Structure 1
Amino acid sequence: MQELSLAQLRASFVNTSRREASQATPEQDLASVDWEQLSLLGWRDAHNPQRAFVIIPVEDRHVGIMLTAVPSPPRKAMCALCEDITEVSDVKMFIAKAAGAAGRKGDTLGTLIHADFKCSKYARRFPSRLEGQDNPEAFIAARVERLRENAERFALRVLGEAH
């Protein structure tokens, strides 16, 4: 993922007001982020834990999306972005308002995402015995690519540009 400044990050949001975008503050200092190990950047709002933000690279741009966590009891589920089968206990349903006119009409989209937004880490984990131990590098590369594709597809759906 390409390094972003706080101003670039805030300017990337497609489904927020200017005020909401100006309040989006990542939980970690952007200077300490290992950008090369990220396929997306996501975090929960420190002041409102039901609100979250995710930045997804899409072609030559970054798409910032504000999300709302659906209140629900914890249950196991697979993240729709990284599709990790080992980290399934902290996956939540998040709702995103659609961008543009569709969002102003109230259209929303939902998806299951890890509540800690560590999909990049989970996609890069060493495979279990049942997965791809005969070629772990290829296994990891395929998982990272699948995460990129799934995240990009979600961002395009929010933008109303899905094919």
Structure 2
Amino acid sequence: MLVVFEGLILSFWLLLICVVGIAKDGPVGLVVFYEQEVQDKVVELGLITKEKIKHVSIITSLALFLPMLTVIPLTVYFYNGVSDFLDGFIQLAGIYLIAGLFDRIFIDWWWVGHTRAWIIPGTEEFMPYIHGKTLAGKWIGTLLGFPIVAAILAWVMQLAG
């Protein structure tokens, strides 16, 4: 039950980052999540600079991955009381898969794909924004990448302690 709750917390964290990221400048604020062709078009339209995209990329990467790679494993091992590799792997993978599925289904498919919230005027020719190789890569990253990360972190936590 804790795993589900922690997966939902991580999902909420991702949602919060997205909401804050688009609050001021709309979806241009998180154009870093779009394909390179969309980023280039937004720069060409004068809506953002390449420097600002790079800055936002660093901030969002830190906001997303630091908690994911530190807080979540520490929570699993110290709060949930996990002491072995298999339990750690299962809990970490469960949390990451819940958040990953939330990202793929709620954020990518519904929010980005079926609402107007993420449309950047002048880039409509690139819609749908998430398609083809990017979509496949995101699903592979969620279904295979997150369990691999969970295994590595579970292994590291075992070595540490």
Tell me the TM-score normalized by structure 1.
0.29
Quick check: which has more Rg, 1 or 2?
2
Q: If each structure's strand is expressed as a fraction of its own residues, which one has the higher value?
A: 1
